[in-house]
Chain A
Amino acid sequence: MPIQEKENISTAVLTCETGGLPPGSLQIKNVSKAFPNVQALNNVSLDIKAGEILAFVGENGAGKSTLLKIINGDYQLDSGELILDGQPVKFANPYEAHAAGIRVIYQEPEIIPGVDVAENIWVGELPKKFGFIDRQKMNQVVKDNLEEYGFASVVPAHLMGDQLSAAQRQLVEIMRALKSDVKVLALDEPTSSLSDEEVDRLFTLVRKLRDNGIAIIYVSHRINEILKLCDRVAILRDGELITIRPASELSEMEIVHLMVGRELSDVFVRNRVSSGKEMLRVENLHSRWHKDISFHIKTGEVVGFAGLVGAGRTELAKVLFGEYQKNRGKIFLDGEEITVRNSNDAITKGIGFSPEDRKREGLILIRSVLENVSMVIIKKLSRFGFVNRTKERLQAVKFVDRLDVRTPSLEQEVGKLSGGNQQKVVLARWLAAQPKLLILDEPTRGIDVGAKAEIYKLIDQLANSGLAIMFISSELPEILGLSDRIYVMQNGHITGELSGEEATEEKILKLAMAEDLSDTKIAEPRINETEPSE
């Protein structure tokens, strides 16, 4: 079915090219972009007409952000072209895109904390008079603009950058864009941190801008909002454009179905026998990011954690691993209540954690496979501080073999291995440590399909050998294919628990994107996040 639809689109695009688009429209023609091991965009063609609101929807990794970044000049396309106003354009960086009239407003706008709203809006192009900043003009223009769009009461021009709420930051960023002559305006998840009232205000603004003839791209996970606001919907999946249709022809279920689209292939193995006793139990955990989280994982069980980016899953893993602090709640491991002060503590108590970003948080890229594998167990392999190098090699070889890490030697720098093999090195490290609970955060991110299948097989084997596995992933097929049970998180809550049998992608997505179930909202979960010092 998807193939048929794709043919429809290409003919549709052809007619668009011949039929004239209103001035100020942006055409995207046959755009492709590849990253190491991933084809992020594959021959995508669509056009954004001046005076319409076009939605981009898709799962995490479908290619929406990549497309936005290409439009904004953050990324260079591998092939294809962008046509603005009938002229082919090329942007080497975001400044060139701004100059051409394209503005992308990301989820977390860059706001300078120490200056006021007016200056934030004018930043980079401060009006000058005799070489000094023309404050009067600056304030007047900002005030006029805010009044014109009805936001004068919402964003007082004299507020300082660090006094602004998430919604106000968003508006400042939009005002920045409007100050210059903008033709195409893209909004990336603009409502994720807004209250209902603020969302309504934003919608009014966006509609007004559309009526003024601006082409608007609207990226969101909230499908009901999209149906309410947008004129057309473009659905992306695995870097390809699946379909582009008027919003009036689509229902919420249909969109979810098109986003998900694929059948589960047989890359997922499940040889494991039933699960055993309870290994991890979390009761009413509260933290800066979480509200009332309760769940459990048994030995021999793979428990999936699904949710959108920013739902608080990685933060949950880091709370369990002692990187972040919990405020309240209890954690039981193997029947005993534990408090985990830091990662060393977590490791001693039997928790292993393979982080989401293996290059930044997982591996010492410039050191050898051997050193990376033996890092956690190095103390056990030592006497009086001296490493028993024979034992170390034997251990490393054992796990490197077991995971089939393909490396020319144990001395090879880890950074020179492929992504899949790097991931296996991280896993080898944790297997060597023999934990009771293993937390895997996006273990297959950025690795090729073959390596993914191997990792899936390994996860199954590990569970079979009696490990309790907490499996965080943003890829629904692998969550469904591997998990015995699935918890779905949204905005710091667990919004649902599904058994492996009853779970479907539609059910998970519904839970992950559900409107807030409780009135209490965790504000700005990812803004101003400070990591503990190293």
Chain B
Amino acid sequence: MTTDVKMFSSEHGKSRKNFISRFFDFIGTDNLSLMIALFLLILFVTVFSSWVGLSGGNRFFTWQNLMNSLAQAIVIVGLLALGETVVALAGAMDISVGSIASCGSVVSTSVLVGTGAIGSLGIFPQNSTFWAIVAGVLIGMIAGFINGFIVTKLHVNATVATLGTMAAFAGAAFLLAPDGKPIGVVTQQSFTWLAQGRLWQDSAIPAMNGSKWTGIPVLTVILVVVAIIMHVLMRYTTFGRNVYAIGGNATAARLAGINITSMRIRMFMISGAISGLAGVLLASRTTSGNPINGQGLEMQAITAVYLGGASTNGGKGTIFGTIMAVLIVGVLNNGMNLLGFNTFVQKVALGMLLVAAVAISQYRIIQSEKARKKVEK
């Protein structure tokens, strides 16, 4: 038996795997299928579409399209989906993220120009992009705390609770705006730079299909930074571990000493904070703190989360998967734009994608349960 033990230790104490297998460990098999799906989708948009008589696919691989359209379009939904992933991994759902984004939009711009319910209080200095961002994120955190409080202390099912707060926060966004009207911020150049600015414009990157390199949008960089932070949070911290544990089996997690109430409140606050940030960026992009800014965005975010492999029961899924799914949703929308489908068709396609994503998630759960039963027999 001692030899067995030794073999086991050397095998698992220090893993010496080659690069490729480590790469696949990092991605995971679920995410590999997402990468293949993305690849096929791009292939369809760029190559197959012309075979069925659709034109426009050749414009996909241009810097103009990739950096101006695609990279910017995915940011807001991407951020919302990142926050939503944390909640989904713990086995819950937050459908108020779009409304929280609206609040973030209104509050950040109202602080920026000193109008509206919160801006006129004068808590934060005016004309400061930094404090505008802080205010937007903070209102998101407060909204998230309210969600967490309702779920944990009032014992309301998370979906129902956030359905209620979705309506409430959407209304609150109007109440926070002066007379319910959008707050214009066109003149605030450092604020609009968040959405319109470019980084690494001067890099000597060659043109692609005749379209010149114009830099990476600041927006996209923000998404990447937040995604990395969330990846680290979920993978390398006790917080992340506990989220997975609660999603996997809340009773067992509680009996292992995890404070479920505090964890749930914290994860809703994280989701809220990121949604608030998304709202700030929305305001910057549209140059206005409009209370309807975030409406309907939760739908796309939730689609991305479940498409990204998060289990509807919780406990399974990765940040990487969510980002892949955000890309798929982005390419789908972008490709359909290029190929000339109108927005109604896009909505139908997105709805079907959500159903397909959840169906696949359920299929995975059933498969893994079957595999488990097999082992037992």
B371 contacts across to A, CB distance below 8 A: 416
In contact, B376 and A37 (Cβ under 8 angstroms): yes
In contact, B258 and A364 (Cβ under 8 angstroms): no
In contact, A417 and B8 (Cβ under 8 angstroms): no
CB nearest to B369 among chain A residues: A415
Distance of A353 Cα from B252 Cα, bound (Å): 11
Which of B237, B256, B259, B375 is the one whose CB lies under 8 Å from A382? B237
CB nearest to B365 among chain A residues: A366
In contact, B8 and A323 (Cβ under 8 angstroms): no
Distance of A415 Cα from B253 Cα, bound (Å): 15
Q: Separation in Å of the B47 CB from the closest CB of chain A?
A: 38
A371 contacts across to B, CB distance below 8 A: 241, 244-245
In contact, A344 and B375 (Cβ under 8 angstroms): no
A418/B258 contact (C-beta < 8 A), A363-B249, A371-B241, A371-B245 known: no
A429 contacts across to B, CB distance below 8 A: 256
| Interface flag for B260 (CB, 8 Å) | yes
Which candidate, A220-228, A387-395, A463-471, is the interface stretch facing chain B? A387-395
Distance of A145 Cα from B270 Cα, bound (Å): 62
| Interface flag for B112 (CB, 8 Å) | no
CB nearest to A374 among chain B residues: B241
In contact, B315 and A367 (Cβ under 8 angstroms): yes
In contact, B252 and A366 (Cβ under 8 angstroms): no
In contact, A419 and B256 (Cβ under 8 angstroms): no
Q: Separation in Å of the B257 CB from the closest CB of chain A?
A: 4
Q: Separation in Å of the A24 CB from the closest CB of chain B?
A: 38
| Interface flag for B236 (CB, 8 Å) | yes
CB nearest to A360 among chain B residues: B251
A389 contacts across to B, CB distance below 8 A: 236
In contact, B316 and A366 (Cβ under 8 angstroms): yes
A417 contacts across to B, CB distance below 8 A: 375
| Interface flag for B368 (CB, 8 Å) | yes
CB nearest to A355 among chain B residues: B255
Which of A321, A385, A534 is the one whose CB lies under 8 Å from B260? A534
Which of B8, B238, B258 is the one whose CB lies under 8 Å from A401? B8
| Interface flag for A152 (CB, 8 Å) | no
A387/B377 contact (C-beta < 8 A), A343-B257, A371-B244 known: no
A382 contacts across to B, CB distance below 8 A: 237-238
Q: Separation in Å of the B21 CB from the closest CB of chain A?
A: 12
In contact, A343 and B255 (Cβ under 8 angstroms): yes
In the complex, how many residues of chain A place their beta carbon closer than 8 angstroms to a beta carbon of chain B? 47
CB nearest to A400 among chain B residues: B8
In contact, B12 and A387 (Cβ under 8 angstroms): no
Q: Separation in Å of the B92 CB from the closest CB of chain A?
A: 11
A386 contacts across to B, CB distance below 8 A: 236-238
| Interface flag for A205 (CB, 8 Å) | no
| Interface flag for A378 (CB, 8 Å) | yes
A343 contacts across to B, CB distance below 8 A: 254-257
CB nearest to A347 among chain B residues: B257
B1 contacts across to A, CB distance below 8 A: 404
CB nearest to B316 among chain A residues: A366
Distance of A418 Cα from B376 Cα, bound (Å): 6
Instruction: Write out, one digit per residue, whether chain B residues 1-35 have a CB within 8 A of any chain A CB (1) or not (0).
Output: 10011001101110000000000000000000000
Within 8 A of B (CB), among A406-446: 409-410, 413, 415-419, 429
Q: Separation in Å of the A389 CB from the closest CB of chain B?
A: 7
| Interface flag for A253 (CB, 8 Å) | no
A125 contacts across to B, CB distance below 8 A: none
CB nearest to B239 among chain A residues: A385
Distance of A343 Cα from B237 Cα, bound (Å): 21
In contact, A393 and B315 (Cβ under 8 angstroms): no
B249 contacts across to A, CB distance below 8 A: 360, 363-365
In contact, B256 and A366 (Cβ under 8 angstroms): no
Which of B5, B242, B244, B255 is the one whose CB lies under 8 Å from A323? B255
Distance of A347 Cα from B372 Cα, bound (Å): 30
B1, B12, B256, most chain A CB atoms within 10 A: B256
Q: Separation in Å of the A530 CB from the closest CB of chain B?
A: 12
A361 contacts across to B, CB distance below 8 A: 251-252, 255
Distance of A260 Cα from B245 Cα, bound (Å): 41
Within 8 A of A (CB), among B332-377: 368, 371-373, 375-377
A534/B259 contact (C-beta < 8 A), A385-B237, A410-B12 known: no
In contact, A397 and B372 (Cβ under 8 angstroms): no
A394 contacts across to B, CB distance below 8 A: 13
A534 contacts across to B, CB distance below 8 A: 250-251, 254, 260
Q: Separation in Å of the A430 CB from the closest CB of chain B?
A: 9
Within 8 A of A (CB), among B228-284: 236-239, 241-242, 244-245, 248-260
Which of A323, A376, A400 is the one whose CB lies under 8 Å from B256? A376
In contact, B368 and A401 (Cβ under 8 angstroms): no
Q: Separation in Å of the A428 CB from the closest CB of chain B?
A: 13
| Interface flag for B192 (CB, 8 Å) | no
Distance of A404 Cα from B2 Cα, bound (Å): 10
Which of A347, A365, A419 is the one whose CB lies under 8 Å from B248? A365
Which of A367, A397, A410, A533 is the one whose CB lies under 8 Å from B245? A367
A397/B13 contact (C-beta < 8 A), A389-B236, A404-B1, A417-B375 known: yes
Which of B12, B238, B244, B368 is the one whose CB lies under 8 Å from A364? B244
| Interface flag for A245 (CB, 8 Å) | no
Distance of A366 Cα from B310 Cα, bound (Å): 12
A36/B377 contact (C-beta < 8 A), A367-B244, A371-B245, A375-B245 known: yes
| Interface flag for B311 (CB, 8 Å) | yes
A401 contacts across to B, CB distance below 8 A: 5, 8-9
Q: Separation in Å of the A310 CB from the closest CB of chain B?
A: 20
CB nearest to A323 among chain B residues: B255
| Interface flag for A379 (CB, 8 Å) | yes
| Interface flag for A481 (CB, 8 Å) | no
Within 8 A of A (CB), among B155-185: 155
A23 contacts across to B, CB distance below 8 A: none
Q: Separation in Å of the A421 CB from the closest CB of chain B?
A: 10
Which of A353, A400, A409 is the one whose CB lies under 8 Å from B255? A353
In contact, B368 and A415 (Cβ under 8 angstroms): yes
A94 contacts across to B, CB distance below 8 A: none
A410 contacts across to B, CB distance below 8 A: 12
| Interface flag for A362 (CB, 8 Å) | yes
In contact, A404 and B5 (Cβ under 8 angstroms): yes
Q: Separation in Å of the B12 CB from the closest CB of chain A?
A: 5
Q: Separation in Å of the B6 CB from the closest CB of chain A?
A: 9
In contact, B248 and A366 (Cβ under 8 angstroms): yes
Distance of A204 Cα from B295 Cα, bound (Å): 69
A366/B12 contact (C-beta < 8 A), A371-B241, A387-B237, A418-B376 known: no
Within 8 A of A (CB), among B32-47: none
- A interface residues with partner B (beta carbon < 8 Å): 36-37, 321, 323, 342-344, 346-348, 353, 355, 360-367, 371, 375-376, 378-379, 382, 385-387, 389, 393-394, 397, 400-401, 404, 409-410, 413, 415-419, 429, 533-534
Pairs across A and B, CB under 8 Å, 15 listed: A36-B376, A343-B255, A343-B256, A361-B252, A361-B255, A365-B248, A365-B249, A371-B245, A375-B253, A378-B242, A386-B237, A394-B13, A400-B12, A413-B372, A417-B375
Other 5 A-B pairs with CB < 8 A, given A416-B372, A417-B375, A418-B375:
A36-B377, A362-B252, A366-B311, A389-B236, A416-B375
Can you list the 6 inter-chain pairs with the closest CB atoms, starting with the nearest?
Answer: A364-B248, A36-B376, A344-B257, A347-B257, A534-B250, A415-B372
